Amino acid sequence: MSPKIAPTINAHGAAIPAVGYGTMLFPEPERAVELILHALKCGYRHIDTARKYGTEQWVGEAIRASGVPRDDIWVTTKVTEENATADDFARSVDTSLETMGLDYVDLLLIHWPQPNVPLEETLGALAKAKRDGRARHIGVSNFTIPLLDEALAKTTEPLVVNQIEYHTYINQDRLIAACRKHGLLITCHAPLARGAMLEDPVILEIAAAHDKTAAQVALRWLIQQPDIGIVPRALEFSEIEENIGIIEFTLSAAEMDRIGELRHRNMRIINPQVRAPVWDDA
């Protein structure tokens, strides 16, 4: 199998492969390592994990078994909101690196905002991880426009990414515009809305025209937008191959516009009651 290497999105010296492999809600350990290994063999060079996912050990095992040089693989992990204080944050980073068997991660994110800890304290710990070489780049996840503005005003190191829920069924135009205004890239979690749009007649019609799947069209719509990357999960080898295959075709401007009109549904999939902020679209 010839590997397919995705293009990168770039900011502040970071070059992030636009198609990543998400590792949330994985199966048993043996299968998890096989899946991550297959992704690397297919050409994925971006692996997205998090302390909360419980998958960091498998990511590390797969990287070591892959034969791909460490510097060629972009690894993203995240510190959960339960570890937002400076000391807990530092311990979480150390635990992540020890669990993966890595000296550094390429991108370290604050996973969710924590209203009970001053943001400047968490940002300080995030910046320290970068200065100490534990993370090459830093960013945030699930930050709204007000939280993003606050973070950018208080950070001492450049923020590179805001990882957010974004797919064809949610309108994130205001938040995306705010990220671009401040020079932040966007990576999309839940980029298929957990399958919500895969029977949509518009997407199916466009997929048929390209001899592609609905999932490929929905994902292609995302990465064809400037400064946007994706980290979809896939639990079958065929799905892994399908997702990286989106780099092999292009949607027309008219097709992009037709799919973009589906955002009026404004369907939010990830909205945990215990930690979700007040969303911009609320």
Please state the length of the chain: 282
Q: Which residue has the tokens 């937002």?
A: 84
Selected catalytic residue, list 53, 104, 166, 169: 53
Cβ-proximal residues to 59 (8 Å cutoff; 6+ apart), any chain:
23, 36, 47, 49, 75, 100
CA 252 – CA 275 distance, rounded (Å): 38
d(CA 96, CA 92): 6
- The span from the CA of 210 to the CA of 189, in Å, is 25
- CB neighbourhood size of 68 (10 A): 18
Cα gap 249→191, rounded to integer Å? 18
Q: Is 169 an active-site residue?
A: no
Contact between 51 and 96 (Cβ < 8 Å) = yes
Active site residues: 53
